[in-house]
């Protein structure tokens, strides 16, 4: 074997980034939301090569979890958020890193909606 073939190549840098997404979900049988809730807002951290991929993966995962995604708002990467003046605490940064390490979607927060009538 030649010397070049036995050399280990450094790993390629990942093209994945983590995007912050706010997802509004409606009601669906078996969704696990509180009985009187009309829906919920979810804060998610999702990995993807771009925001569109992160949105597609998040919607697919939420549908598999018997949730009914209605709308997704993207807030960009950590760098985008910092540029916009968002404060990003250590816990959020840790969840973002986990999403990147696991190439996954992390639901960081779920806030149910209730009809005030």
Provide block-wise average pLDDT over 10 residues at a time, the chain (117 residues): 56 82 95 94 97 97 95 96 95 96 96 88
Percentages helix, strand, coil for the chain (3-state, rounded to 5) are 30, 35, 35
Report the pLDDT value the prediction gives residue 112, as an integer from 0 to 100: 96
The structure's pTM equals: 0.84
Report the pLDDT value the prediction gives residue 104, as an integer from 0 to 100: 94
User: Are 37 and 20 within 8 A, CB to CB?
Assistant: no
Report the pLDDT value the prediction gives residue 4, as an integer from 0 to 100: 53
Closest of 113, 21, 36 to residue 76, by C-alpha: 21
Closest of 107, 112, 111, 113 to residue 62, by C-alpha: 107
Write down the residue that tokens 């998610």 correspond to: 44
């Amino acid at each position: 074997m030649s010397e070049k073939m036995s050399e280990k190549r450094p790993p390629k840098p990942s093209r994945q980034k983590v995007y912050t997404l706010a997802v509004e979900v409606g009601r669906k049988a078996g969704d696990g939301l509180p009985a009187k809730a009309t829906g919920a807002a979810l804060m998610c951290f999702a990995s993807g090569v771009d925001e569109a991929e992160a949105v597609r993966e998040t919607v697919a995962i939420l549908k598999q979890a018997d949730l009914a995604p209605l709308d997704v708002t993207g807030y960009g990467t950590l760098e985008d958020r910092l540029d916009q003046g968002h404060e990003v605490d250590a816990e959020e940064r840790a969840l973002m890193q986990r999403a990147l390490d696991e190439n996954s979607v992390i639901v960081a927060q779920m806030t149910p909606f209730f009809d005030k009538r």
